[in-house]
Amino acid sequence: MSASTDLPPAARQLLALIESQIAHGTLRSKSPGIASLPELHEACGLDVDAMYAHLQLLKDANLISIEGEYPFEEIRLIGQST
């Protein structure tokens, strides 16, 4: 069983959204391989506290890394080359 299948459904959905934003980009310019937190929050439909709780689950599962300062953190998938 992979780490992502052990996560709650909302965390898996957030991971899928991160993957989509990294793969397809957005209207804002950013480096390849990055999902930006402001865009992720706008798209995910979760309140800030719930979003951060699910991001922490993804981080604890070693699926993502979060870099930068609030509110402009950048999210990368771990193990994915850019």
What CATH number does the domain containing 57 carry? 1.10.10.10
User: Is the whole-model pTM more than 0.85?
Assistant: no
Q: How many domains does the chain have?
A: 1
Edge-to-edge strands, sheet with 74-77: 35-36, 74-77, 64-67
**Would residue 82 count as lying in a domain?**
no
Cβ(64)–Cβ(22) under 8 Å?
A: no
Query: Residue 81: pLDDT above 60?
Result: no
| For residue 38, cis peptide bond before it (omega within 30 degrees of 0) | no
Q: Does residue 73 belong to any structural domain of this protein?
A: yes
Average pLDDT over residues 28-43: 83
Per-residue pLDDT, 28 = 59
